[in-house]
Structure 1
């Protein structure tokens, strides 16, 4: 296996974990939680976010590092196809949205016990996950065009 193939494999695996996790959270988990009472929902969210965000803290830098590491193999920034530029822009935007979510509403969610404030934070987190999910799916489509 070449270095490029290894980088690409790690890059794709990390992207699948991040985007797939967001898809699951947004499309499957969130609607399913409506049958659970609010206190249990908050407890479940606490556990889910703790584990999922830990995963994202590992895969997000790996995606960015492997993406930049693959650039020399595709002609560098000037020689890279438009899809590489689009994926780079989307990846960096997704990282920024994740950081804003983690350092903003998720931090407030973890530090409060007020149910109304927790619900407000969850609403904001859901919105930001939705934004990142859309960007992640677009990045997957763009990657498929390469």
Structure 2
């Protein structure tokens, strides 16, 4: 498996983001797609030259980043790709100087919740647009500094 940074305009990344959004619509209905902030950095995981997963770190403030767009194609799940991608995103965030990562996921994504909890993310109070979103769960994790 190869994990590398890609730009927002990358075709493989765009296809993965479209697939992720389609899955969210299937699980939650047609809620709008939230925008990723300027300055977000994307990683793509590839297996045998096929892009199979993605994720992003976007800036919140000088010490905090937010994980966005974590996704692995269904046929590649259960192979440790999401955990490797999450680890690489944490490493990227720490390298950018973030001391903490936060994220939002949903109650209809038990596999995502299990991953984040296995990887030491702690349930936190909802933030931003998630404050009044009963199907959302927010997590955070302190990062080891490089």
TM-score normalised according to structure 1 size: 0.26
Larger proportion of helix: 1
Q: Which protein has the larger Cα radius of gyration, Structure 1 or Structure 2?
A: 1
Larger relative contact order, structure 1 or 2 (CA cutoff 8 Å, min sep 6) = 1
TM-score normalised according to structure 2 size: 0.26
